Amino acid sequence: MTTSTESISSPRFDFFQTATQVIVSVYVKGCSQDDVQLDTDDHSLRLTINAPTKASLVIAPLFGPIDTSNSGVTTLPSKVEISLQKLQPGIQWPSLQGSDAGGSTTSTTVASTSTPNPTSRTRSKWDSFKDEEEEDGQNKTTGNETGKSTKDEASIDDFFKQLYANADDDTRKAMMKSYQESGGTALSTNWEEVKKGTVKSQPPKGMEARKW
């Protein structure tokens, strides 16, 4: 009798993020929702793909804690997409994986951004940033204002997810590189321009870029 063991591959993946979510794109085509299983705790994820090919992705620990009740997985024709809800909104993850179970404490704080123009080469996003230090100092938001802020963040997240999902590989690389290197102050969809060098912070007049 001959027995064979089907190998389990490690799929190609990348990620991008907003102030409230981390979106992981796993590049396995042709999966249905029944073919995938996502297991998460507050600092790790395991994605199991059973068809059309067997694949597994394990990331532990994650860079920061996540809200497992609001995280999930969806399947698209060209990939599988994992949505991780941050437990610490406004904290930028420089990488998907952290160095320990508690996550890194040297992350960069960013605020929610307004919807960028995807056809522009490089857009400054400082004008739509909220100064989080100022928010902490005032901390007098009413219930209605809080609800509006949450709704706005959800709309922004949906836009970024749709923009990234419909983009080609070069556009995705340009978005991630420009956003991360500029500290969240600029977003570019032009890979030919972005690949030439580091994308610098672009504060408007009267503001100063700071390293955290």
The confidence band for 111, taking pLDDT boundaries of 50, 70 and 90, is very low
Domains in the chain, CATH or no CATH each: 9-109 (2.60.40.790), 114-204 (no CATH)
pLDDT of residue 192: 86
10 versus 110: the higher-pLDDT residue is: 10
- Secondary structure (DSSP) of 112-139: --PPP-TTSSEEE-GGG---HHHHHHH-
Is pTM beyond 0.95? Reply is: no
75 versus 180: the higher-pLDDT residue is: 75
63 versus 149: the higher-pLDDT residue is: 63
Q: Crossing angle of helices 169-181/143-165, nearest 10°?
A: 140
Q: Mean pLDDT across the chain, nearest whole number?
A: 76
